[in-house]
Structures are given as C-alpha cells and as structure tokens.
Amino acid sequence: MRIALAQLDYHIGNLEYNTQKIIDKIILAKSKKVDIIVFSELSICGYPPRDLLEFKNFIQGCTNSVNAISEHCEGIAAIVGGPSINTKKEGKDLYNSAFFLADKQIKKIVNKTLLPTYDVFEEYRYFESNDVFECIDYKGERIALTVCEDLWNINENPLYITCPMDALIAQKPTMMINIAASPFDYRHIAERKKTLQDNAEKYSLPLFYVNHVGAQTELIFDGGSLAINSKAEIVNELRYFEEDFKVIDTDNFDEPVLDFGFASVELIYGALVLGIQEYFEKLGFKKAILGMSGGIDSAVVLALAVDALGKENVHSVLMPSKYSSEASVGDALEMIKNTRSSHDIIAIDDVVSSFESTLKEKFQGQAPDITEENLQARARGVILMAISNKFGNILINTTNKSEAAVGYGTLYGDMCGGLSLLGDVYKTQVYELANYINRNGEIIPQNIITKAPSAELRPDQKDSDSLPDYNILDKVLFEYIENRKDVKEIIAFGYEATLVHRILKMVNANEYKRFQAPPILRVSPKAFGSGRRMPIVAKYLV
C-alpha cells in the first residue's frame, strides 16, 4: 500500500483555504498512485478552533468542506480531521473526528476518545468522548485509526481510564494511523517520538503519524510527522517547522532513518521564527516595530524578527533618556547596522519632563521612586504605540520570561505590544539564543552579550540591584513554573530559603501584570497564558 503523509499549515476558520489545500494534495497524491493520503487533526478548520465551534454556521461550513473533499476521493482514500455532530440525545454536541473518505463518500467517522483538558488544551469544553471502537478495512489492510491523544495513554502513569488501542487491537488491525495537532515545546519532540515508538512496539504494528505544522497565535506546531515500522524504528521523518509531503510504500518499509538530532536552542529559534511569520501572515500584517535599547533582549528580538520577516519589514526605535549610556546607544546602532534594518532615534527627555511637570503639584512632598522610572518606560510605550497606529505596524514586545515572571516590567510601558517573542524564554536562554544567532558570524555585538543587563531607568542601574543573579533566578523559576514545585520542595533542592520565598512572592504578586500581557509564543512545557491559569486575587502559600 502507498500512503501519503500530508503535513500542512492550516488557517483557523479559513475553511475555503484549508479545503483547497487538502484537495490540491489529494490531486497530487493521485498522480503518485497513492492509496491513502493522511491529513492532521481538525485539518478542515485548523487547531484549536476554540469557541468558533459554538457557531452553527461554522460547523455547517466544516461539514460542507468534508463533503467537497470527498468528491475528490475516487480511486484514493483520504483521512481528514474535523468536528462532527453528535446525533445522540446525550453528551456534548460535537465530536473531534477523523473522516475516512473513499469512493466519493464518507465511509467512516472515527471520533476521538481521550480529550486533553490540561495546559493549553481544553477539548472537553467542546467535544464528547468516543465510546465505539471499530477498525477500518481498506484494500486488504485493517486500519486502527486514532486521533492524537488516543495514543498517549501508554505510559506508566496513565492519565485516562481508557486506552483506545487496547480496544482496537482485539480486531487484529494490520497498521495504525494517528492524526494529530501536537504543539511544540523544546522537550516535546523526544517525548512524542518515544510515545509513538512505544505504541508500535507494544502492538507490533507499523504506525503512520501526521502532525500539524505552523502557528496559531501563541501555539506553534513543529510538524515532524513520522512513519514507524512494526519494530518501532522510525523509517520516515518529515521536516520540522515547514510543510512537507511524503509517500511511503509499505512493501519497502524497514530501513530506519537517522534522527535529525536538533539542539534545544536550535529548536527554540526555529519555533520563534515560525511563530512570528505565522502571526503576521495570518493577521495580514507585514511590518514590525520594536523598541531598541542596546540590551540583549531587544537585540535577540531584532535578529528573530529580521530572520522571520525580512530586514525591510522591521523598524527599530531608539528612545534614549538622560540615563541611557552612549555605549548602549552605540551597541544598538551597531546591531541595527549588522541586520541592515531601519531605525529612528527619538529622545524622550522632553516627554518625561512634561509628565513630571504635569504631575509636580500632585506629587508634591513625595520622594522620587519607581514611579518616575516607570514614566520613562510608559513614555516609550506611548511613542511606540503611536508609530504602530500611524503606520499600521505590529509592535513586538521584548520582555523575557524571567522578567515577566517576577514583574520586572512596566504595564503600558515596556509590556506594550501585539506579540511577545521572548515571554517564554528565560534570560539565560536569551543568551543561548544570542550565541546561536552569532554561530556564523557576529550579528549581535559582543558587548551586548557580555555587559551587565540594565533597564537604564536611573543612574548606574543594573538588573542585579533588584533581582537575584539570573543563573539562580531562572532555576528557581523553572522549578516553580515548569515543574510546579512548591516552596518547601524548591528549598529542599538546596536553594536559600529567604531567596526562594522572595522569588515566589514576586511571581505570585505579578499575576495581574501577566494577565494584561500580549500573546506569548509558547516554546516551553509551561508558558504564561492559556497553559498556566493562576488566579489573580488568590492567597498563595509561600
């Protein structure tokens, strides 16, 4: 049997666009004498459609798309993902389904059994769980067709009571096909491969797996679709962070391939570039602006944006104050020169002085404090947003995860923006990215990488005046945020108790700031945003 894996980039809600992409690949597969072509989970509508699923015309549009695609399935079968209507009188209105199309008909609808409702997933909000398990017979093969999570209940600590493949294996299938929408994080590729290979090994069956690629706001899908033989060896691996199409002949399906073996920093860089490209393209924007300070964060953001959008579409704005050093301005200009992108210099001293003069009477008798520092950040935010408004550009935010975690940022100032590029990248990882960017030659000036980080909002300010050393801070944050360790568990790792209490209090006290932050490109196992839902007004146990 010849099976085509079609790893495509879909646009949520753009049913006509998605449908045509699927049809085009079916036509291509026919020309290559393919028996079955496989598309990913919810390929009809894009993943995750979220509350679009609550509109009847949206569901009807998805149904119409499936029917239109089926008309092209003559002499070939196609597996596509989409919502289907629950015709029972009980349960939720919809299923998350895989449609098996052949002979211009919907031959079979296989519904997803295991509905993830954790981290960024909320499928049980919309879908009913499957309770019928039937294989599909086609051209002499018996196919165990599953949807994404249905193969993930194979580990030592099962999350679900049901294991769909345990039910399907009793029907003696000859192969497994799984359609998925598995978001990227820098640990997930290895975990995903192991899970899929564990399935092939447990059931002694070949497995064909098709994943989404592309990005949908904060969620990035890395692709990496797989064909695994019955010995649990990967014999085909589709490309990462781009569309791909591959035809596999099951009669010649034994030779394993070498693992691509990406480094973590390389994966993060690739994911961020793709996330930027997709956010702009799917919103219909081309140009980005950012505030360029001469620091490591804005330098890395500029490099990412130029790589993603092209130098002609990225514009930096330098906004020096009386506290900005000549070295920082010089570093910023050198960075801009290295990327061959455009810039403006708009000094903010007069703007800040105007704010201070306006507030002088109100602030009479009050000593200067962080308020005056924040006026500088907010002046910059107003200028950047004004330029964004006037020229129709998207302001990209430069705050890193370490800063976002502890509230080291100013609401309506440096936290402004339409998209956060580094909000899921710790400061120590930002330096790793900087070195990766410079792997083939200096793009980011070495002085930006080696100098002590500073917001430059007061004389001789350093981040270390207010924050622990990033090498320690990031480790404590990782244990609390990614690993969900409590204060006692973190202290038990050997960290100083007073420091741990201080860091965790900063994280908890600044939940309200993160609630108002722009969307953050997700690259870690636990990002701020939809995957980490902490209450703003809670009393935390620290």
Dihedral sign for Cα atoms in the order 270, 272, 273, 274 = positive
Q: Is 90 a catalytic residue?
A: no
Secondary element (H or E) of residue 192: helix 188-203
- Is 401 in the active site? no
Angstrom distance (rounded) from CA 371 to CA 375:
6
Q: How far apart are CA 542 and CA 538, in angstroms?
A: 12
Pairwise CA distance, residues 37 & 530, whole Å:
33
- Which is catalytic among the residues 21, 25, 108, 112? 112
Residue 92 structure tokens: 């939720």
φ, ψ for residue 267 (rounded to 5)?
-65, -45
- Please say whether the beta carbons of 79 and 39 come within 8 A: yes
Closest CA to 518 of 381, 404, 415, 379: 415
Give the H or E element holding residue 334: helix 326-339
Residue 319 to residue 5: CA distance in whole angstroms:
50
- Of 135, 148, 163, 416, the catalytic one is 148
Q: What whole-number distance in Å separates Cα of residue 339 and Cα of residue 307?
A: 9
CA dihedral 40, 41, 43, 44 (to 10 degrees): 140
Amino acid letter, 375: L
Contact 153, 160 (CB under 8 A): yes
Of the residues 41, 123, 128, 456, only one is catalytic, namely 41
Residue 177: which of 190, 161, 164 has the closest Cα?
164
Residue 523 CA to residue 424 CA, distance in Å, equals: 6
Cβ atoms of 234 and 198 within 8 Å: the answer is no
SS3 330: helix
Q: Quick check: is 135 catalytic? A: no
The one-letter amino acid code at 86 reads N
Give the pair of three-digit tokens for residue 409. Answer: 């940022």
The tokens describing 320, both together, are 């020096």
Whole-angstrom distance, CA of residue 369 vs CA of residue 366? 9
CA 521 to chain centre: 5
Give Cα separations from 526 to 118, 214, 346, 531 (angstroms): 11, 19, 37, 6
Annotated catalytic residues are 41, 112, 148
